[in-house]
Amino acid sequence: MVPGLMPEEGLGIKMDFLEAVAQLEKSQHFPRVATLERMKMAVKKLDNPERELNFIHLAGTNGKGSTGALISAGLKRAGFRVGRFISPHLLEIRERISIGSDHISPENFVAAYQKMQEKTAYLDLSYFEQLTLIALIYFHKMRPDYIIWETGLGGRLDATNIVTPVLTVITAIGLDHTKFLGDDIYSIAREKAAIIKNGAKVIVAPQQDELESIFLEQAKKVNTRITRAKDFLPIEIKGNGLKPGEVSFPKLNYKGAMPLLGYHQGENALTAYLALKTLKVVDCHDANLFADVNWPGRLQYFPTLNLLVDGAHNEQAMTTFVNFFNQLGLEAQLIFASMQDKDYPTMVTKLDGLFKKVYLPQLANKRAVEPEKLALLFQKTPTVVCANLKEALDLSLNKDLIAVVGSLYMVGECFQILEHILDINDLWY
């Protein structure tokens, strides 16, 4: 028998994992009406599974995943059982809900799904709202010591904002999901600042100066303490090319291992360090505090294939990737794809002229931009339109460094292909 939740705790109707996922995926991806009222009714029907759990609530445009992974690594090193609720997934849906290095089992997923459906089906919940409830039911049963709890979209009306956290973390703010959050960076920051609540201390990653006041104002409004990571700059990173390096925060007298690639990870590490220091439950002098961190698909290098994979799927993330690429003086060929709801013309402009050649695959996802359309935007780089990602990899691998950059859906497809080429399990969560 599988420990924890059991299928018979749900509706009493046999359902397998694939059936549950298929039913879930029929749901509206985003709520038809943005409100937290449905979630409030849902958790009440489920006897408030969010209570008595220690959530670390993260919001931000970029860096949520890396910062959450770094906090999780530090807590796990101290011996804590750490749950994580993240999005999106790269290979399969169970990645979104985990404790330690174990994803939720198919049996537990089905049990939580059935219990959720039994109590809340009448609410016509969205895909993400349902996943959030499945995570809450599972964590309530399994009781991890801490839960890394990532917002899905925005903050104020995000389904995850139903919890009262022990700590709130705001990562870097940029332009993304403007259709839902507002078409300027201030509106987006205000949406994300709304997860700041009374009783939960706040850590804010370095931001553009004009955004800081938004978070300070919200913290003052709810009478909670805020720590600004920018007050602890500078950050020093050594040897962080395509191999793990070392990060140090001179003002905090800390130096330690940094497995994640990219100078921008210094800011995420500083933010995570301040979060751990605020919790006062780990040894913040441990040089290996972050040594076991892993965050797949974000500047992840596969040396045996000379392949660099990065899910830089918006303008801010693409700027970070381009800076990384230029700082190392790399030469490479590019595989690029984007979703239609992203600012792909701007991303192409940042990439154009940096690579010897760009391969443009047709992705399986119907929301992907047609490769022929992307080819017209590249003015300085030779392009090759490919029927699929496998063709793009077949044409490019074993020649130069290959950078697979852009949509996280493409990263997921890439990992499905890599599974048949090498063992990527050790490089996973």
Instruction: State pLDDT tens for residues 254-281.
Output: 999 999 999 999 999 999 999 999 999 9
Looking at the fold, whether 126 and 96 belong to one and the same domain comes out as yes
334 pLDDT tier (thresholds 50, 70, 90): very high
Looking at the fold, whether 109 and 164 belong to one and the same domain comes out as yes
Looking at the fold, whether 266 and 342 belong to one and the same domain comes out as no
**Residue whose entry in the numeric block shows the structure tokens 């990737």:** 321
Q: Would you say residue 2 lies in a domain?
A: no
Q: Would you say residue 290 lies in a domain?
A: no
Looking at the fold, whether 119 and 159 belong to one and the same domain comes out as yes
Looking at the fold, whether 255 and 315 belong to one and the same domain comes out as no
Q: Is the pLDDT of residue 232 over 60?
A: yes
Which tokens hold the place of 354? 């940096």
Looking at the fold, whether 218 and 356 belong to one and the same domain comes out as no
Looking at the fold, whether 197 and 87 belong to one and the same domain comes out as yes
User: Which 3 state secondary structure label does DSSP give 151?
Assistant: coil
Looking at the fold, whether 240 and 188 belong to one and the same domain comes out as yes
Q: Residue 159: CB partners within 8 Å, gap ≥ 6?
A: 36, 39, 126, 128, 129, 132, 152
pLDDT tens for 54-104 read 999 999 988 999 999 999 999 999 999 999 999 989 999 999 999 999 999
Q: Would you say residue 322 lies in a domain?
A: yes
Q: Would you say residue 268 lies in a domain?
A: yes
CATH code for the domain in which residue 313 is found: 3.90.190.20
Q: Is 184 left (phi over 0), alpha (psi -120 to 50) or beta?
A: beta
Of 222, 244, 279, the position where a domain reaches its end is 279
Looking at the fold, whether 210 and 353 belong to one and the same domain comes out as no
Q: Which amino acid is at 420?
A: H
pLDDT tens for 33-59 read 789 999 999 999 999 999 999 999 999
Q: Is the pLDDT of residue 420 over 90?
A: no
Which tokens hold the place of 389? 């990602």
368 pLDDT tier (thresholds 50, 70, 90): very high
**Global confidence as pTM:** 0.91
Q: Tell me if 302 sits within 8 A of 418, measured CB to CB.
A: yes
CATH code for the domain in which residue 58 is found: 3.40.1190.10
Q: Residue 269: CB partners within 8 Å, gap ≥ 6?
A: 70, 235, 247, 258, 260, 290
Looking at the fold, whether 364 and 228 belong to one and the same domain comes out as no
Looking at the fold, whether 219 and 338 belong to one and the same domain comes out as no
Of 228, 246, 279, the position where a domain reaches its end is 279
User: Which 3 state secondary structure label does DSSP give 78?
Assistant: coil
Q: Would you say residue 81 lies in a domain?
A: yes
Q: Tell me if 114 sits within 8 A of 10, measured CB to CB.
A: yes
Looking at the fold, whether 343 and 271 belong to one and the same domain comes out as no
Of 279, 309, 326, the position where a domain reaches its end is 279
Q: How many CB atoms lie within 10 A of CB 4?
A: 17
CA dist 134 and 280 (Å) reads 30
Q: Tell me if 232 sits within 8 A of 252, measured CB to CB.
A: yes
Q: Would you say residue 123 lies in a domain?
A: yes
How many structural domains are present in the chain? 2
Q: Would you say residue 285 lies in a domain?
A: no
Q: Would you say residue 289 lies in a domain?
A: no
428 pLDDT tier (thresholds 50, 70, 90): very low
Beta bridge partners of 302: 307
Domain span holding position 127: 7-279
Q: Which amino acid is at 146?
A: Y
